[in-house]
Structure 1
Amino acid sequence: MPIKIFLFMMLFIFQFISVTKAEVQLKAAFVRDHQLWMKEGDYEIQLTKDKYVYSPKWSYDGRFIAYINGDEQGEKSNLWMYDTEKKESYEPYHSIETHSFTWSPVSNELAYLSGWVLNVTKMKDGRPYGFQNVSLGVSGFEWYPNGKEFIVSASSNRLPTGWEPIKLYRIPKDMNLNEKKAELLYSIPIDENDIFAVTVGDFKWSHDGKWFSFLGTPTPSWAMDSNPLCVLSFDGKVFQDIGRMLGFSDWFKWAPHANQLAYISGEGRFFVENKMTKIAEIKASTKQVEYTPKGYVDLDLEWLSPSKVIVARSQENKAWEEGPVPTMFTSLFEIDLGSVTQNQITFPKENELDVDPEAVGSYLIWVRRQDETHKSNVLIRHEKQNEARIWIEDVDFSPVIFKE
């Protein structure tokens, strides 16, 4: 009998350890009171002081966090990094000003735009330091999945004959300003009555690297109401105009295991109506399905799994015509693409709204904001649990989760 009890206890302990190891301890960078913080599991630590931090981004291996040290007026945008091993912030080069920067998918190299110049960081003593010029005339960019090349865009110019095409190029990261190394990938014809944009950006790769999506930006007043969402094959041979939407990068996302692109369609700068979740099947010809019921608007989305999408949804407010723009009090809904059933899964209190859903492994994470104070808490729920809990309190923006 004692042997049986011992074996039973060992089996129980082994199963418990296996389940514990299977769960990844989540790690996030976030901003509180304009300072950079990090949270790992239930432990959090402040990383900066006397700065004005926004846009933190993890390096591919999680050692570095790149961020912008700005100011309240928006006149400063200096690039800084935090080294989690040496526990210090530093500038990779003195006074780099940028609003567009992205880590390599395969190494601790950071690419960034300074004006119209694309640069990539060098390495010194195991961390990014200094920079190398890559290309001039760049308005938008993204790494190729191999970490050796970039997609870059060149803005359109207004000519006496009309708007010139927007050009997309494939360039190596070691181009070193050698224009002969640039390969024209695709030229987008611009028509104010069809596809109208001055530049394109927010490039995102499909899961298999065969397609990438991007968002066009027209002239400033037009961009407030309508932006073209497009898709191009990796070799530049197949171009598709997917639809029109507002200029929010989080409003279009690729499925985790299929060439499906979910996005929130609809023109008009106000959120009160005409914002609908659609999913486009990206093939030789594009098929689209709309999922937002009549009388509602969707204002954010996330793939929970290959067959489920989370949206932040509110009722329309067509009665509003003038005065302060009303807050749309969203809660999260789960759309099952197989059965087409849709269920509300979060229930914020009055004057609260749930936004920015993000799926990480077995967890769903989102931000709950109080409308009057704009105070935000990060909530988290495991797929096997019915109740959510507060994971991070009092954040300025949505956290950036490190994904291995």
Structure 2
Amino acid sequence: MHIKILFLLIPFFFQPISVTKAEVPLKAAFVRDHQLWMKDGDCEIQLTKNKYVHSPQWSYDGRFIAYIDGDQQGEKSNLWIYDTKKKENYEPYHSIATSSFTWSPMANELAYVSGWVLNVTKTKDGRPYGFENVSLGVSGFEWYPNGKEFIVSAASNRLPTGWEPIKLYRIPKDMNLNETKAKRLYSIPIDENDLFAVTVGDFKWSYDGKWASFLGTPTPSWAMDSNPLCVVSSDGKVFKDIGRMLGFSDWYKWAPKANQLAYISGEGRFLVENKIMKMADLEVSVKQAAYTPKGYVDLDLEWMTPSKVIVARSQENKAWKQGPVPTMFTSLYEIDIGSGTQKQITHPKENELDADPQAVGSTLTWVRRQDKTDKGDVWIKNDKQKQARIWIKEVDSTPVLFKK
């Protein structure tokens, strides 16, 4: 009898146990009342006082947050870093004036352009400190995915014969102003009647590092209405002119697991019409698919999964012709790229709008604002939750989520 009971119990003890993996708490750097704050899960911490903060960026491992300490007049633009381990703010070098900086994807090194000179920080006691010159004549740049090189652009000049080509280079981070180390990647021919830009920048790499997308900037008045979106292969052998759009860097993003580039196309500085979400598949052809229904405009986007894109959508307002520019009251919609099906996923109240969607894993965040106000509340929803909730109140601008 005892033996029979033993055999009956054995299968019970060896039943497989299902373990649910806990979600990693979401972490964000954000600006409230011009000061830098951090949100880690549900814990909120103020990181600066008596500054005028904007443009925070996380380092690759989340230890550091680089940001600009400016002023209301826009005359000051100094680079600072917050160290989350030592809980202190510091300058990597005294009074670095810049508006263009980015972290290495592989190390706690910070590259920035100051006065057309590309520099990269040294390391002291495990922190970015000091700097070394990399290259002169740089207008735009981004790290290569290997963290050892940069793709950089040199602005076009107006010559008696017309605009000269914009040149792209591949340079090592230890170039040290040695011009012989720079390799010409591609020369972009400029034509005022076709592809017109004076500078290019806002480089973004595809998921596998084969392609870099970037946005061209023409002369100031022209740039308010139309900017060329282009891609170049990492070896410089292939260049493609994707389309025309406004100069918003958040309006074009690579798919997480395919060489597909989604972007908001359409010329014209006013957002009331002609803003269409398109997707270019670089592995198939230059042919593009449009997803915005007739009578609507899409004014932001984010990849939620390899097959789903979130857009901020509003009805067109073609009736407006003059006077104050009307507010476009956007809601978030989910587009299934494969099937083409679409559905509304947020429902702001009257005189509210939802914008700035961001995804980390299965979690979606966005900013909900009232009409005529700059501040907004950050909402959050996980696919396991039925209801969205407010995560951060009264932010000055879109928070920057930490993505490992």
| TM-score, normalised by the number of residues in structure 2 | 0.96
Amino acid at match of 1:328: M
Listed one character per residue, the Cα deviations across residues 18-58 of structure 1 (whole Å, up to 9, x for unaligned) are 42x43111111110110000011100110000000000000
Instruction: Quote how far apart the aligned CAs of 1:384 are.
Output: 2.0
CA distance in 2, matches of 1:284, 1:183: 29
**Which residue is 1:278 aligned to?**
278
CA distance in 1, matches of 2:72, 2:14: 58
Q: Secondary structure at the match of 2:391?
A: strand
CA distance in 2, matches of 1:373, 1:291: 30
**Which residue is 1:238 aligned to?**
238
CA distance in 1, matches of 2:375, 2:90: 30
Amino acid at match of 1:387: Q
CA distance in 2, matches of 1:384, 1:288: 33
Amino acid at match of 2:301: L
Contact 1:196–1:228 (8 Å) recurs in 2: yes
CA distance in 2, matches of 1:353, 1:97: 35
* Count of paired positions: 397
Instruction: Output aligned runs, 1:306-385, within 5 Å.
Output: 306-385=306-385
Listed one character per residue, the Cα deviations across residues 116-168 of structure 1 (whole Å, up to 9, x for unaligned) are 00000000111000000000000000000000000000000000000000000
Structure 1 unmatched runs, 5+: none
Listed one character per residue, the Cα deviations across residues 184-224 of structure 1 (whole Å, up to 9, x for unaligned) are 00000000011000010010000011111000000000000
Listed one character per residue, the Cα deviations across residues 74-93 of structure 1 (whole Å, up to 9, x for unaligned) are 11000000000110000000
Instruction: Quote how far apart the aligned CAs of 1:321 are.
Output: 0.4
CA distance in 2, matches of 1:334, 1:202: 26
**Which residue is 1:225 aligned to?**
225
**Comparing 367-376 and 77-86, the one that deviates more:** 367-376
1:201 is the counterpart of 2:201: yes
Instruction: Quote how far apart the aligned CAs of 1:338 are.
Output: 1.8
**Which residue is 1:177 aligned to?**
177
**Which residue is 1:215 aligned to?**
215
CA distance in 1, matches of 2:276, 2:12: 53
Contact 2:206–2:259 (8 Å) recurs in 1: yes
Contact 2:211–2:232 (8 Å) recurs in 1: yes
Query: Percent of aligned pairs with the same residue?
Result: 80
Contact 2:224–2:269 (8 Å) recurs in 1: yes
1:112 is the counterpart of 2:112: yes
Listed one character per residue, the Cα deviations across residues 254-280 of structure 1 (whole Å, up to 9, x for unaligned) are 000000000000000000000000000
Instruction: Quote how far apart the aligned CAs of 1:10 are.
Output: 12
CA distance in 1, matches of 2:41, 2:162: 55
Instruction: Quote how far apart the aligned CAs of 1:9 are.
Output: 12
Instruction: Output aligned runs, 1:2-401, within 5 Å.
Output: 15=18, 18-19=19-20, 21-283=21-283, 285-401=285-401
Q: Secondary structure at the match of 2:123?
A: strand
User: In structure 2, do the counterparts of structure 1 residues 76 and 10 end up closer, same or farther at CA, with 3 Å as the change threshold?
Assistant: farther
CA distance in 2, matches of 1:386, 1:10: 34
CA distance in 1, matches of 2:255, 2:283: 14
User: In structure 2, do the counterparts of structure 1 residues 262 and 9 end up closer, same or farther at CA, with 3 Å as the change threshold?
Assistant: farther
CA distance in 1, matches of 2:284, 2:259: 11
Contact 1:151–1:169 (8 Å) recurs in 2: yes
CA distance in 2, matches of 1:350, 1:10: 56
**Comparing 376-385 and 145-154, the one that deviates more:** 376-385
User: In structure 2, do the counterparts of structure 1 residues 249 and 76 end up closer, same or farther at CA, with 3 Å as the change threshold?
Assistant: same
Amino acid at match of 2:272: V
Instruction: Quote how far apart the aligned CAs of 1:284 are.
Output: 6.5
CA distance in 1, matches of 2:348, 2:395: 17
Instruction: Quote how far apart the aligned CAs of 1:11 are.
Output: 8.9
Kindly report structure 1 stretches of 4+ aligned residues shifted beyond 3 Å.
7-12
Q: Secondary structure at the match of 2:250?
A: helix
Contact 1:351–1:372 (8 Å) recurs in 2: no
Amino acid at match of 1:119: N
Q: Secondary structure at the match of 2:191?
A: coil
CA distance in 1, matches of 2:282, 2:387: 36
CA distance in 1, matches of 2:112, 2:276: 33
**Comparing 233-242 and 378-387, the one that deviates more:** 378-387
Q: Secondary structure at the match of 1:22?
A: coil
Q: Secondary structure at the match of 2:327?
A: coil
Amino acid at match of 2:203: F
CA distance in 2, matches of 1:11, 1:77: 61
